[in-house]
Structure 1
Amino acid sequence: MNKILVAYFSASGTTKNTAKRLASAANADLFEIKPAVAYTPSDLDWTNKKSRSSVEMNNPDSRPEIAETVSNMEEYDTVFIGFPIWWYVAPTIINTFLESYDFSGKTLIPFATSGGSGMGKTADVLKRLCKDANWKPGRILNHVSDAEIANWLNVVI
């Protein structure tokens, strides 16, 4: 039996909505990757170079602390990892999440929401963090129907 987890970070609620729909379609458990210190609207102002999100994304070593952990990660065979695209990659809190567990032999599948850009080099960056995982191609899940989610699941699972 393939036990599935949908883990996601959502800054505005868009990725959260998509993650809930994906978890329902995949009959998966759901886990929200919450920062230990919540982001405020001013933290998320990408036009301000001094905003928290801008500072984090400009520092490749940034690893924002996560509020909670998945206590039973060893039980999951497949983990979908969802996030909004920030600066053409995943937010650095996703790096924190990936470096917090041993994903060796597990299937990892990224998915994202975006205001206009694609996945960019996201997969390349994430794969370097978990080299012993079985990475499947990710995709942007903006404005997709439940049928499109189901079709994608049939391809990646």
Structure 2
Amino acid sequence: MSESDRKALAADISAASRLRGTFTLRSGQVSDQYFDKYRFEADPALLARLAAAMAPLVPAEAQVLAGLELGGVPIATAISLHTGLRAAFVRKQAKTYGTCLAVEGGAVAGLKVAMIEDVISTGGAVVDAARLLREAGAEIVAVVCAIWRGAGEPAIPGLDVPVRAAFRMAELP
């Protein structure tokens, strides 16, 4: 993706999803900006462009893309369509009916998994999902997100894998 295409994508994601006001984030932090990821995930052309930008961030050794409930699921699916890698879907908790699984879409035991997330501020949801993936036998090789809201370089305390972001918040006009 060229630098001009990347800047255009950043501008389009921001225009589609950035809301201003007072918002409490999942982490409990209060922010004057919120990225409504469903607004860019629901736009097929924008989602396809984002998947193309995120695909090169997936480590070559990854065998499965694990989309985190709920916002990571459409992104993982779009990257899967772009790359041909299998997708799996990580619930916030195991179902209490049917298969009673927390990780859906086929077994991940013994496989190298790239976790796919939408917007990360502190990574709390990612840490929770990583635990479920590891309990299912997956080896997590990276976290790939659309937008990194956190301070500094992308990294999640307690999760010793690289975090790769398509965009940092400061890059979104």
TM tier, smaller: 0.3 to 0.5
As a proportion of its length, which structure holds more helix? 2
Larger radius of gyration: 2
What is the TM-score normalised by the length of structure 2?
A: 0.36
